[in-house]
Amino acid sequence: DADVTQTPRNRITKTGKRIMLECSQTKGHDRMYWYRQDPGLGLRLIYYSFDVKDINKGEISDGYSVSRQAQAKFSLSLESAIPNQTALYFCATSDQTGEYYGYTFGSGTRLTVV
């Protein structure tokens, strides 16, 4: 089984719909992150959480919300999806520093908003 599992892998949704992307991990890491990846823009941080009671906005949090249901679960919601939220979304985890062993990424969710 993958260390970081994202569901769904692909999703097409309509403008204005609410959608949730889910992430679970078996790494035992406290820290979890949501990134989006767009061609030419690289990975950009949406939200991050250093433990269950800690949620922080990243550089592009507008239009998104998150929930850390447990140490192993971190979900990302788009309350009212819009076409420019079409992107590849990645969940990642790290240990306390994220420095020595890097981040562990899931395989991503490709989201299309039509």
Partner 1 sequence: SQKIEQNSEALNIQEGKTATLTCNYTNYSPAYLQWYRQDPGRGPVFLLLIRENEKEKRKERLKVTFDTTLKQSLFHITASQPADSATYLCALGTGANNLFFGTGTRLTVIP
Q: Is 1 in the site for partner 1 (CB under 8 A)?
A: no
3-class SS of residue 84: helix
Q: Is 48 in the site for partner 1 (CB under 8 A)?
A: yes
Q: Is 100 in the site for partner 1 (CB under 8 A)?
A: yes
Lateral strand order in the sheet of 64-70: 4-7, 19-25, 73-78, 64-70
What residues between 21 and 40 interact with partner 1 by CB under 8 A?
Answer: 31, 35, 40
Q: Is 41 in the site for partner 1 (CB under 8 A)?
A: yes
Tokens standing for residue 61: 């949090």
Tokens standing for residue 96: 């306390």
Give every CB contact of residue 97 below 8 A, 6+ residues apart in sequence. Answer: none
Stretch that binds partner 1, among 22-30, 67-75, 77-85, 100-108 (CB under 8 A): 100-108
Sites of contact with partner 1 (CB under 8 A)? 4, 31, 35, 40-45, 48, 58, 90, 92, 97-108
